[in-house]
Structure 1
């Protein structure tokens, strides 16, 4: 068959075919995803786990290694790397390009649900982050005391949460600032159970009394001339001495 001769004999059919090919090509171009800065980073999930007071070897043995074993069996996992420091375990799982980030995050969370019950007491709930070229942390800052006479880890945590984080969020273009690690300030109350029983009081009553006098909660709102005023009940203990002065009954 002579293609040139056939085309000359059927000009309208050839024109229709050419138009159809052109329309299909244009539709394909218009429907193709376009991005000025395409995401070329493979799907990655970051898991950060904090356990205050734990040494790096202990974190590696009780947290990082169990996490690695559990996540190593996930479908599509290409690579995983981990970093362990005092009180902090960080594990990054990288998946094959064909896997959606949302699916990777879901599978990692399912793996965490299976392994976290075996973590030691005092281990915080692991934080899970999806990482792409758009969501990767731009800057990671680490704070630590300079010497024995400097601020404590609890004070550094408060500084990061209430000062540094707020200042960073004021910078134009900063969307989120996450704070993790450090020590949360806490007060340990030692109870003389015999004295408590001799006074006719219970441990539950003591806990309830402390909780009722150490609260910060919304107390209502009032609308005056179109302006809304919010009230807050703030009776948090300002220091350790005030905890000891708590009236139980």
Structure 2
């Protein structure tokens, strides 16, 4: 027997079954958690290295390239992007979403420590950090004035606005 056939022969059963399905759906819907910004741990790890006095070309060839070559061999790497500036190298390693962020960061630490001796003498220790989903700014504020200079605006923002925003409930970083 098909469901339409049963519904025609036993209309009370069909009504009760429909109400039961509706009730289960309503209960499930009301218990469903919904967040405006769900917590998603994207497996993204950054490696920042400072080498005082080095030009961007030296940073690129002696720091960024060495680290990139080492990091590209890690399992689950999706995209590697890097920026080489004067005195600073920043490498961002994006992993596939199925990769655990903690193990990805551990693998990056391991690879960086293996090539540490190939980096130039006098370079600062590379700083390895996971990118947290909640670390991205939700609000950007800018201040302007027709009568104050940029330095005065910056001073006012740091002395007055910043302390007020830091004490706001839910503010983690200002």
Using structure 2 for the length normalisation, give the TM-score. Answer: 0.64
Q: How does 1:38-187 map to 2 (within 5 A)?
A: 38=38, 42-136=42-136, 170=163, 172-173=165-166, 175-176=172-173
Q: What is the correspondence of 1:31-42 to structure 2 with a 5 Å cutoff?
A: 32-38=32-38, 42=42
CA apart distance, 1:92: 1.0
Highest Rg: 1 or 2?
1
Residues in 1 aligned to 2:18 and 2:110: alpha-carbon distance in whole angstroms? 52
C-alpha distance in 2, partners of 1:103/1:33? 28
The 1:33/1:112 distance shift into structure 2, 3 A limit, reads: farther
- Asked if the contact 1:39/1:132 (under 8 Å) is kept, the reply is no
Question: Distance between the aligned counterparts of 2:164 and 2:128, measured in 1?
Answer: 25
What SS class does the counterpart of residue 165 from structure 2 fall into? coil
Q: Deviation at 1:12?
A: 7.3
Pick 1 or 2: higher relative contact order, CA cutoff 8 A, min separation 6.
2
Structure 1 alignment gaps of length 5 or more: 140-165, 178-249
Q: What is the RMSD of the two structures over their aligned residues, measured on CA atoms?
A: 3.6
Select the structure that is richer in helix: 2
Counterparts of 1:75 and 1:32 in 2: how far apart (Å)?
Answer: 35
Q: Give secondary structure in 2 for the equivalent of 1:172.
A: helix
Give how far 1:61 is off: 1.8
